[in-house]
Chain A
Amino acid sequence: MHIVISNTIEAPIYLQIVNQIKAAVLSGELREGEGLPSIRGLAAALKISVITTKRAYEELEKEGFIFSRAGKGSYVAAVSKGFAEQSRQKEVLEHLQEAVRLAKLMGVKKEEVQALLTSCYQEEER
């Protein structure tokens, strides 16, 4: 698994870690029961604050992606297919909502947005 941190984008660093570990779990790259690096180990490897990695793990635990055993470390939790599907959709949905918000703000019509989406897929498939 790779974790890439940017200091210049507005998203907080803990969230960047959360999203990348989530993506790795959802894509199956990280498997159920697999051990994650320790909070301090990850901080040292990324050369970032311990507080940042701690917060990232707390967030992942809260959302059910990982679980911790006191004194042992953190592990990838069992993520059901339905849940994985939902989470994947949620991510995409959030971006679409943002696009719709922007379209309204700039007066781009619903039909135009739909056409744009279709052409995005055509671009990708080429």
Chain B
Amino acid sequence: MRDMITAVSIKNLTKVYNNFSLENLQLEIPRGYVTGIVGRNGAGKTTLMKAILSMIRYDGEISVMGESMQEQGAEIKQKIGVVLDPDGYAGDMRIRDVGKMLGKLYRYWDTDTYQKYLQTFGIDEKKKVSELSKGMRVKLDLAAALSHQADLFILDEPTAGLDPMVRDEILSLFANIMQDETKTILLSTHITSDLDKIADYIVVMEDGRILMQQARDTLLDEYLLAKGGEATSAQAQKLIGMEKGRFGVSGLIAKSDKPMFNDFVTERPNVEEIMKYFIRREENDDL
């Protein structure tokens, strides 16, 4: 990832909770691309995003667009569009008033854009926040995130609870944002099929750690999903995150190892399968 402008730089991020911690995390998010963080519930995706947005205290250094969040946080946040906590607004607020409030908060707030997105998403401005379904709240947050000329979008599960048609609509929207190479999207999801479509980079998180960060293309092109009846010990060594079932074994293999697996069927994996087998490798190692 050399030669790239960094949108978010995270150095030695540490956050310790009673039963969970992010320890000494390093991460660079390139500008002009979509980076998708995948991982199980509780892997630390939301905690990481909250740290970037200074919503929690932490040790370490985080900078956005080259500026330190610790020093310039309030200013930088003007240019960050956020979808994070679906319960962010008071329930008895009307949608119209949410817009008014955000208009005071964000210097570059654009009421017309906001209203346009509300219309696109089918949200009635006269309704109260508490009257919206979970999916509608996500859309409300998205409308807000898209309406103040943000350069960086930090989106926690932006497509959760949305039906496939709306998800597709929102993915198109993201694809359109990315026509401008100065924009950056960082999104987390456990619905990885979304990432199969638009993410440029994939970060796999598990148990507060980053297992892998790779260009999505490299991942999908360099690994194959291999399935077979039985694995010899030589094959077993090459199977990443090997899973033994009643009728056979499966795992990821590097494409260059394919000749060793002539007795296996191989296919192109998707992001979900890659995530699954890499997490399983961690678990196998822990045994």
Q: Does B221 contact A (CB under 8 A)?
A: yes
A2-39 CB mask vs B (1 if < 8 Å, else 0) is 00000111101110000000000000000000000010
> Chain B: which residue is nearest A45 at the CB level?
B175
Q: How far is the CA of A40 from the CA of B176 in the complex (A)?
A: 9
Q: How far is the CA of A50 from the CA of B197 in the complex (A)?
A: 11
Q: How far is the CA of A112 from the CA of B217 in the complex (A)?
A: 40
Chain A hits for B171, CB < 8 A: 47
Chain B nearest CB from A34 CB (Å) reads 21
Q: Does A86 contact B (CB under 8 A)?
A: no
- Which residues of B from 194 to 243 have beta carbons under 8 Å from A? 196-200, 215-217, 220-221, 224
Interface of A is mostly: helix
Chain A nearest CB from B1 CB (Å) reads 11
Q: How far is the CA of A44 from the CA of B221 in the complex (A)?
A: 21
Q: How far is the CA of A50 from the CA of B198 in the complex (A)?
A: 8
Interface of B is mostly: mixed
> Chain A: which residue is nearest B176 at the CB level?
A44
Q: How far is the CA of A52 from the CA of B179 in the complex (A)?
A: 14
Number of interface residues of B (CB under 8 A): 26
Say yes or no: A55 contacts B270, CB within 8 Å: no
Say yes or no: A51 contacts B200, CB within 8 Å: yes
Say yes or no: A51 contacts B215, CB within 8 Å: yes
Chain A nearest CB from B266 CB (Å) reads 8
Interface size class of A (residues with CB under 8 A): 20 to 34
Chain A hits for B179, CB < 8 A: 38, 40-41, 44
Chain B hits for A43, CB < 8 A: 175, 178
Partner of B33, one of A7, A44, A51: A51
Q: How far is the CA of A43 from the CA of B180 in the complex (A)?
A: 12
Chain A hits for B34, CB < 8 A: 49-50
Q: Does B172 contact A (CB under 8 A)?
A: yes
Q: How far is the CA of A41 from the CA of B178 in the complex (A)?
A: 9
Say yes or no: A47 contacts B175, CB within 8 Å: yes
Partner of A44, one of B175, B200, B216, B224: B175
Most buried by B among A8, A12, A49: A49
Chain A hits for B134, CB < 8 A: none
Q: Does B268 contact A (CB under 8 A)?
A: yes
Chain B hits for A41, CB < 8 A: 179
Q: How far is the CA of A90 from the CA of B172 in the complex (A)?
A: 37
Chain A nearest CB from B33 CB (Å) reads 6
Q: How far is the CA of A55 from the CA of B217 in the complex (A)?
A: 10
Q: How far is the CA of A28 from the CA of B34 in the complex (A)?
A: 35
Chain B nearest CB from A51 CB (Å) reads 5
Chain B hits for A52, CB < 8 A: 217
- Given A13-B217, A41-B179, 9 extra CB contacts under 8 A: A12-B221, A14-B217, A44-B172, A44-B176, A47-B197, A48-B197, A49-B34, A49-B215, A55-B217
A to B CB contacts below 8 Å, 15 in the list: A7-B196, A7-B268, A7-B270, A13-B220, A41-B179, A44-B172, A44-B176, A49-B199, A49-B217, A50-B32, A50-B34, A51-B33, A51-B200, A51-B216, A52-B217
7 A-B pairs with the lowest CB-CB distances in the bound complex, closest first: A44-B175, A12-B221, A49-B200, A40-B179, A51-B200, A47-B197, A10-B268
